[in-house]
């Protein structure tokens, strides 16, 4: 049976640039796929685009391509990425510039658009789309005025189209994480739009690989001490058969580990209902999959059942929702925790004295409960605590409230409990964004999808 | 007779996010552990456990092909990562928190 090898190069915007080089050099792959977009990422990119309209894409695509294009052009490895964020043409232009700087002639760069519906919201509303929130059922209402970005999750078909047209690099906006991987497989094996089980295997492959090191030993909850050489972690590589079954592994000579347990943790990661993992390409039933460890750093994945793709696509809208102000200050033994609590009282009182009434206030004591909040057990013996760092965060609609909060931290050094220390204690106010997930009939979206291939 | 079993000693786990929902997977280390967790780690127990930090309901699925339980804890992330005031805005530590849960198991 015919097989193809595909590798993962990136799990999010900001991931390390190094492991993708190992995948290109030692993975023996024909394709490398990059997932750069988490829900949070679009919000980050939107802020960048607001400052500079040529931005709005994941900027690390530039150093990534600078590293990889010379290796990949020589070996004929194709690169697929959703780094376009909310500006795929901007990303495509930046990558073309890198190719020119490297002197690469004849490189074909594809740009996929049609996912960004920010400019179509009113048109879609006129066509009867209510943008009801998937979780709460609420209509968009007055949130509409505060929407900053609106992107629909597209599937793998436009990526496969781009590769069919001879693209060496495919750049998209909000195509799904998994589409980066299924797209090349559809192109390679010619899987039809109703070959649900093969598509389900391809989506599962993408799901297992999209978070880069999280399947090969990263963020491994129990047994992390035994994972070798995380500094040189091998990002996943799969050898895929035409029937959709595949063996997940990693490049020779790299660190990390691919075991049944590392694969299992990623298998169910963020998938919600395991019987119905919804994607634009197929609905995947993960309860039907067989995982087998077939060799060192080799896990075979097979048997996944797929069901017909849903009639709707998911859209994610981000809307402005006030500001976060923050302050940090540290205290030492003795009674570090008590001092930090006293300092918090002082700051909150000072806010009150100046008429600041935040919508939400969060107190965290770093070293005690900053990650678990109210679920963290209280310390039994305060005398064993050497230091505690207080964090106060507020949400407010008024940016100036954040500045009032920040203003009240430095005075604690002279006028608060003893031993206060406040390195980098008051970050700038940060604009907060609410997320709104909704479903839109696919026939209102997919006819607007465009694939443009340009040669450098 | 019952004994206390801490989930950390018989399971591994991972958590992630979608908007304001924490998505947690709990994996049994072996078939005996699978029998224990599918019987004892109920939706109600997990809902009670996370109540101090979650405003919404909890959903639960059994995934027997990988001997795992899947939990969704709604309203747990301060409105979702880009709106959250939480240091752990993505709920990456919810898996660890679940592993600290102690359950009563009959001898």
pTM of the model: 0.96
pLDDT tier for residue A38 given thresholds of 50, 70 and 90:
confident
Please provide the average confidence, as pLDDT, over all residues in chain A.
96
Contact between A371 and B93 using a beta-carbon 8 Å cutoff: yes
pLDDT tier for residue A50 given thresholds of 50, 70 and 90: confident
- Model pLDDT, residue A283: 98
pLDDT(A376) > 80? yes
Q: Is residue B60's pLDDT more than 90?
A: yes
Q: Which residues contact B30 (CB under 8 A, 6 or more apart)?
A: B10
Return the pLDDT at A136. Answer: 84
**pLDDT(B13) > 90:** yes
pLDDT digits (tens, 9 = 90+) for B68-77: 999 999 999 9
Distance (Å) from the C-alpha of residue A276 to the closest C-alpha of chain B? 11
Q: Quick check: A238 and A266 in contact, CB under 8 A?
A: no
C-beta atoms of B63 and A286 within 8 A? yes
pLDDT tens, position by position, A51-106 = 999 999 999 999 999 999 999 999 999 999 999 999 999 999 999 999 999 999 99
Per-residue pLDDT, averaged over A184-210, amounts to: 98
pLDDT band at B54, cuts 50/70/90?
Answer: very high
Q: Do B11 and A366 touch (CB under 8 A)?
A: no
Q: Is the pLDDT of residue B107 over 80?
A: no
Q: Using CB atoms and an 8 Å cut-off, which of residues 17-76 of chain B contact chain A?
A: 17-21, 23, 25, 27, 29, 49-50, 52-53, 61, 63-66, 68, 70, 72, 74
Name which of A132-136, A271-275, A364-368 the model is least confident about: A132-136
β-strands A147-152, A312-332: how paired? antiparallel
* Partners of residue A435 in chain B, C-beta under 8 Å: 19-20, 80-83
Could you please report the per-residue DSSP string of A170-233? EE-SSB-TTHHHHHHHHHHH---TT-HHHHHHHHHHHHHHTTGGGGTTTT-SSSGGG---GGGB
pLDDT at A423 over 80: no
Contact B66 A268 (CB under 8 A): yes
Q: How far apart are CA A385 and CA B75, in angstroms?
A: 32
Question: Which residue from A264, A266, A434 is facing B80, i.e. has the nearest CB?
Answer: A434
What confidence tier does A40 reach under pLDDT thresholds 50, 70, 90? Answer: confident
Residue A280 pLDDT class (50, 70, 90 cuts): very high
Mean pLDDT of A255-262: 98
Sort out which chain A residues have CB atoms less than 8 A from B79's CB and list them. 321, 434
* pLDDT reading at A292 higher than 90: yes
Q: Binning pLDDT at 50, 70 and 90, where does residue A112 land?
A: very high
Percent of chain A with pLDDT over 90: 94
Residue A145: per-residue pLDDT: 94
Nearest Cα of chain B lies from the Cα of A421 at a distance, in angstroms, of: 20
**Inter-chain contact A39–B96, Cβ cutoff 8 Å?**
no
- pLDDT score recorded for residue A47: 86
Average pLDDT of span A287-300: 98
A439 pairs with which residues across the strands?
A314
What's the longest Cα–Cα distance across chain B? 47
Percent of chain A residues past pLDDT 70, beyond the cut? 100
Q: What pLDDT is attached to residue A194?
A: 97
Question: Residue A403 pLDDT more than 90?
Answer: yes
The predicted pLDDT at position A65 comes to 98
Q: Give the pLDDT band (50/70/90) at residue A363.
A: very high
Q: What is the pLDDT of residue A422?
A: 79
Residue B61: its chain A contacts at CB < 8 A? 273-275
Which chain A residues are closer than 8 Å to B14 by Cβ?
214, 219, 221, 265-266, 268-269
Q: Decide if A81 contacts A60 (C-beta within 8 A).
A: no
* Least confident interval from A31-35, A40-44, A204-208, A286-290: A40-44
β-sheet bridge partners, residue A298: A295
The per-residue pLDDT for A218 is 98
Of the listed ranges A138-142, A165-169, A229-233, the least confidently predicted one is A138-142
A287 CB neighbours in chain B (<8 A) are 63-65
From B19, B25, B83, residue closest to A432, measured CB to CB = B83
Instruction: Please determine, for residue A160, whether its predicted confidence score (pLDDT) is greater than 90.
Output: yes
Mean pLDDT (whole number) for A109-131: 96
Min distance B63 CA to chain A CA atoms (Å): 6
Please report the pLDDT score of residue A39 as a whole number: 83
In the numeric block, the tokens 């760092």 are attached to: A389
Q: Is B6 on the interface with A (CB under 8 A)?
A: no
Of B63, B83, B85, the CB nearest to A268: B63
For the residues B85-101, what does the mean pLDDT come to? 96
Does the pLDDT of residue A183 top 80, yes or no? Answer: yes
Burial class for A26, CB neighbours closer than 10 Å (0-12, 13-18, 19+): middle
% chain B with pLDDT above 90: 92
Of the candidates B66, B78, B79, which has its C-beta nearest A264's C-beta? Answer: B66
Asked if A370's CB is within 8 angstroms of B87's CB, the reply is yes
């Amino acid at each position: 049976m015919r097989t193809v090898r595909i590798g993962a190069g990136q799990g999010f915007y900001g991931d390390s640039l190094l492991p993708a080089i190992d995948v290109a050099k030692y993975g023996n792959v024909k394709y490398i796929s990059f997932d750069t977009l988490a829900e949070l990422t679009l919000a980050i990119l939107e802020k960048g685009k607001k400052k500079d309209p040529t931005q709005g894409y994941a900027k690390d695509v530039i150093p990534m391509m600078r590293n990889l294009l010379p290796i990949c052009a020589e070996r004929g490895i194709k690169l697929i990425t959703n780094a376009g964020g909310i500006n795929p043409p901007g990303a495509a232009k930046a990558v073309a510039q890198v190719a020119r700087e490297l002197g690469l002639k004849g490189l074909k760069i594809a740009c996929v658009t049609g996912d960004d519906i920010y400019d179509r919201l009113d048109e879609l509303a006129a066509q009867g789309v209510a943008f009801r929130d998937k979780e709460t059922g609420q209509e968009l209402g007055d949130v509409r005025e505060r929407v900053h970005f609106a992107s629909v999750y597209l599937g793998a078909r436009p990526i496969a189209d781009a590769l069919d047209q001879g693209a060496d690099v495919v750049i998209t906006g909000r195509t799904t994480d998994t589409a980066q991987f299924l797209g090349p497989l559809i192109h390679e094996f010619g899987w039809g739009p109703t070959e649900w089980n093969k598509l389900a295997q391809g989506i599962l492959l993408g799901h297992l690989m999209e978070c880069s090191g999280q399947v090969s030993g990263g963020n491994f909850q129990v047994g992390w001490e035994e994972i070798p050489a995380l500094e040189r972690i091998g990002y996943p590589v799969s050898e895929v058969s035409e029937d959709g079954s595949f063996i997940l592994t990693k490049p020779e000579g790299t660190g990390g580990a691919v075991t049944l347990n590392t694969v299992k943790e990623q298998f169910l990661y963020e998938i919600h209902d395991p019987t119905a993992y919804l994607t634009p390409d197929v609905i995947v039933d993960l309860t039907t999959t067989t995982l087998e460890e077939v060799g060192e750093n080799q896990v075979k994945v097979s048997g996944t059942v797929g069901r017909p793709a849903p009639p709707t696509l998911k859209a994610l809208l981000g809307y402005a929702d006030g500001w976060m102000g923050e302050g940090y200050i540290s205290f030492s033994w003795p009674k570090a925790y008590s001092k930090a609590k006293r300092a918090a009282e002082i700051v909150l009182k000072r806010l009150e004295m100046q008429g600041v009434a935040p919508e939400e206030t969060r107190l965290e004591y770093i070293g005690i409960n900053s990650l678990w909040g109210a679920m963290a057990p209280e310390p039994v013996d305060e005398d064993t605590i050497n230091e505690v760092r207080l964090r106060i965060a507020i949400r407010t609609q008024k940016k100036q409230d954040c500045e009032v909060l920040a203003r009240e931290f430095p005075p604690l050094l002279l006028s608060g409990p003893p031993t206060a220390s406040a390195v980098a204690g008051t970050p700038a106010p940060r604009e907060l964004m609410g997320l709104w997930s909704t479903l839109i009939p696919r026939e209102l979206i997919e006819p607007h999808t465009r694939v443009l291939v340009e040669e450098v | 007779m019952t004994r206390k079993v801490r989930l950390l000693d018989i399971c591994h786990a991972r958590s992630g996010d979608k908007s304001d929902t924490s998505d947690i997977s709990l994996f049994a280390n072996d078939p005996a552990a699978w029998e224990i967790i599918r019987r004892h780690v109920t939706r109600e127990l997990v809902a009670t456990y996370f109540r101090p930090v979650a405003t919404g309901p909890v959903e639960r699925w059994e995934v027997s092909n990988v001997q795992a339980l899947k939990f969704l804890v709604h309203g747990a992330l301060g409105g979702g990562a880009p709106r959250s005031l939480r240091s752990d805005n993505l709920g990456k530590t919810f898996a660890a928190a679940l592993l600290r849960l102690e359950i009563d198991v009959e001898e």
